[in-house]
């Protein structure tokens, strides 16, 4: 089975541009990205890989068209980046981003899942982030026929108590935040999937996202990137230290200076700073 891909689309870069592919239930082996996800209410296994002008994919226990839609969502195949590449054309130092057709950042099947993962990136090492997500999937994910597990649903997480998040997930002080968020989604008080389609202005949307306990500036702006809005930098210690080294002679500086550096890129600045800082790791 195949999915047609745009001319300016790099499967490799879409998958590995940031660390999400290392978080369960994603797996990347020999160029094949696999995920176990809920499709049509059933845990289903989906695999996707690169071919010359298309993407190959296979799915087990799921409708072919819905699996195709899921892959398009994960890889952001329908998201237009032409304006981004055109903008970069006016900045010689950053033209390489367009030449490598960077832009799409891998995202999860649901915005809910991306929020949970983002909260689990805060104030800890990447190893601990992977551990917390692995624990969530292992303890609460639904089992597919092949023995893989989905990311837990809001309802599954909402049914737990704080002690579970502390003892089994090892989420520390984040536990109550994760539980409160899951319960707010499960009972409909918060509808994160709407963030993908809402017309409200970015500052207002950011305010709504920050209303979630455990989500501050970094996490909110990271979420904005994952729903396709790139006018926030999502500054964390990784981006700050990278900026100091690359653009400020290794010296610390106020965030305002970082904003000023990338402000010429307007609504694309969040993508530019990210690729600027991970350039060495991109093939």
Partner DNA sequence: GCGTCCAGGTCTACC
Partner DNA sequence: GGTAGACCTGGACGC
- Angstrom distance (rounded) from CA 226 to CA 253: 27
Q: Give residues 55-114 in contact with DNA (rule: CB under 7 A).
A: none
- Counted residue by residue, the chain has a size of 283
Q: Give me the least distance between CB of 238 and DNA, in Å please.
A: 4
Pairing relation of β-strands 32-39 and 42-50? antiparallel
Query: In a 3-state reduction of DSSP, which class is residue 249?
Result: coil
User: Cα 64 from chain centroid?
Assistant: 24
Q: Is 200 in the site for DNA (CB under 7 A)?
A: no
Region 10-29 residues binding DNA, contact defined as CB under 7 A = 18-19
The residues near 232 (Cβ < 8 Å, ≥ 6 apart) are 202, 206, 217, 220, 221, 224, 225, 269, 270
Among 4-12, 74-82, 115-123, 136-144, the segment contacting DNA (CB under 7 A)? 115-123
Name which position in 69, 183, 216, 229 contacts DNA (CB under 7 A).
216
Given 79, 134, 236, 244, the residue binding DNA (CB under 7 A): 236
Of these, 8, 12, 123, 168, which contacts DNA (CB under 7 A)? Answer: 123
Determine if 279 is a binding residue for DNA (CB under 7 A): no
* Binding status of residue 257 toward DNA by CB under 7 A: no
Nearer to DNA, 58 or 130 (CB): 130
Q: Are 219 and 232 in contact (CB under 8 A)?
A: no
Residue 81 or 165 with smaller CB distance to DNA: 165
Q: How far apart are CA 144 and CA 133, in angstroms?
A: 18
Exposure string of 126-145, with b = 16+ CB inside 10 Å and e = fewer, is eeebbbbbbbbbebbbbebe
What is the closest distance, in whole angstroms, from the C-beta atom of residue 98 to DNA in the complex? 22
| Residue 180 is a binding residue for DNA (CB under 7 A) | no
Min dist. Cβ of residue 117 to DNA (A): 9
Among 213, 247, 267, 279, binds DNA (CB under 7 A): 213
Return d(Cα 270, Cα 84) in angstroms, integer.
11
List the one residue from 102, 215, 224, 227 that touches DNA (CB under 7 A): 215
The residues near 248 (Cβ < 8 Å, ≥ 6 apart) are 257
Q: At what angle do helices 269-277 and 237-247 cross, to 10 degrees?
A: 70
Q: Could you say whether residue 237 binds DNA (CB under 7 A)? A: yes
Candidate residues 170, 183, 247, 279; the one interacting with DNA per rule CB under 7 A: 170
Question: Which C-beta is closer to DNA: that of 157 or that of 219?
Answer: 219
Binding site for DNA (CB under 7 A): 18-19, 121-128, 131, 166, 170-174, 210, 212-220, 222, 236-238
């Amino acid at each position: 089975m195949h999915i047609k891909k745009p001319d300016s689309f790099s499967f490799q870069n879409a998958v590995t541009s940031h660390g999400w592919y290392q978080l369960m239930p994603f797996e990347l082996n020999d160029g094949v990205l696999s995920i176990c996800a809920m499709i049509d209410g059933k845990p289903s296994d989906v695999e996707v890989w690169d071919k010359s002008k298309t993407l190959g994919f296979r799915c087990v226990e799921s409708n072919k068209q819905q699996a195709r839609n899921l892959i398009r969502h994960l890889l952001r195949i329908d998201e237009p980046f032409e304006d981004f590449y055109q903008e970069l054309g006016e900045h010689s130092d950053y033209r390489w981003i367009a030449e490598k057709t960077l832009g799409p950042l891998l995202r999860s099947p649901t915005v809910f899942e991306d929020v949970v993962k983002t909260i689990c990136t805060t104030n800890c090492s990447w190893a601990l982030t992977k551990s917390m997500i692995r624990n969530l999937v292992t303890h609460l994910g639904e089992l597919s026929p092949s023995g893989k597990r989905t990311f837990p649903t809001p309802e599954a997480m909402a049914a737990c108590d704080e002690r579970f998040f502390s003892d089994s997930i090892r989420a520390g002080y984040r536990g109550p935040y994760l539980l409160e968020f899951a319960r707010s989604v499960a009972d409909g008080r918060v509808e994160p999937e709407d963030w993908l389609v809402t017309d409200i202005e970015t500052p207002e949307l950011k305010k709504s996202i920050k209303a979630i306990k455990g989500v501050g500036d970094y996490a909110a702006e990271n979420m904005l990137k994952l729903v396709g809005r790139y006018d926030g930098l999502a500054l964390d210690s990784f981006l700050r230290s990278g900026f100091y080294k690359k653009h400020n002679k290794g010296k610390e500086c106020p965030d305002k200076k970082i904003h000023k550096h990338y402000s010429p890129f307007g609504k694309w600045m969040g993508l530019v700073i990210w690729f600027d800082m991970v350039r060495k790791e991109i093939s």
